[in-house]
Copies of this chain bind each other. A is one copy, B any other.
Amino acid sequence: MAHRIISDEELLATALDLFRTYGFEGVSIKQLADATGLEKASLYYRFPGGKDEIVMAVAGDVVAWFEKNIFDPLAGAGSIRKRLAFVIERLREFYVGGTKACIMDLLSIPGGSEELKAALKEAMKTWISAFADVAKESGLSPALARSRAEEAIVRFEGSLVVSRVMGDTSAFERILKALPELLTVA
């Protein structure tokens, strides 16, 4: 077969899609090879640690994406409402309208490395803090801002689970719509 070339970025985007659909245990090196057009041996050449290393790289890419598209914009310029509206649009895109699961849900199921578990926990903490900072800026007390941020993440994650089980993304749309009210003073 002709040699296939694929950038790390493209490769990891393909891997992300597999992992957030089937979970860590549900994805094999063979599947990753087929989906990327590479042979298994080529994947091992680029990621000698195998699936564990690939999934860690995927998680790293997702965290970088969140920094650029969620955390930085949330802390940026413009009115809080506008920043939230922007971020909500990015979240809708990333989760494809609620049809794609969150890697914090699927990859936190035992099977992956301790390193992965730690990275997911760190990412969730960062996300909660980013939401809490906005809520504080909008005028909520630090304690209330924090609890509203945690509730927002809980509802966000739950809406993705419910959307998947029900085969209906309305729960996801509802939490996106509720986010501004949750994270700002009425």
A interface residues (Cβ-Cβ under 8 A, vs B): 21-26, 101-102, 104-106, 108-111, 120-121, 124-125, 150-151, 153-159, 161-162, 164-167, 171, 174-175
Complex-state Cα separation, A178 to B25, whole angstroms: 34
- B21 A124 Cβ-Cβ under 8 A: no
- B154 A159 Cβ-Cβ under 8 A: yes
- B150 A157 Cβ-Cβ under 8 A: no
Identical copies of this chain, number: 2
Complex-state Cα separation, A41 to B31, whole angstroms: 29
- A154 B164 Cβ-Cβ under 8 A: no
A97 to chain B, nearest CB (A): 16
Residues of B contacting A26 in the complex (Cβ-Cβ under 8 angstroms): 23-26, 109-111
Residue of B nearest to A23 (CB): B109
Q: Are A162 and B124 CB-contacts (below 8 A) given A151-B155, A154-B171, A171-B154? A: yes
Residues of B contacting A167 in the complex (Cβ-Cβ under 8 angstroms): 121
Residues of B contacting A21 in the complex (Cβ-Cβ under 8 angstroms): 109-110
Residues of B contacting A25 in the complex (Cβ-Cβ under 8 angstroms): 22-23, 25-26
* 8 Å CB contact of A104 from B23, B109, B161: B161
- B165 A154 Cβ-Cβ under 8 A: no
Complex-state Cα separation, A164 to B102, whole angstroms: 13
- B166 A154 Cβ-Cβ under 8 A: no
Residues of B contacting A24 in the complex (Cβ-Cβ under 8 angstroms): 26
Complex-state Cα separation, A156 to B154, whole angstroms: 8
What would be 14 A-B contacts, judged by CB atoms less than 8 Å apart? A22-B25, A23-B26, A24-B26, A26-B110, A105-B165, A120-B165, A121-B166, A124-B162, A150-B162, A153-B162, A154-B158, A157-B157, A157-B158, A158-B161
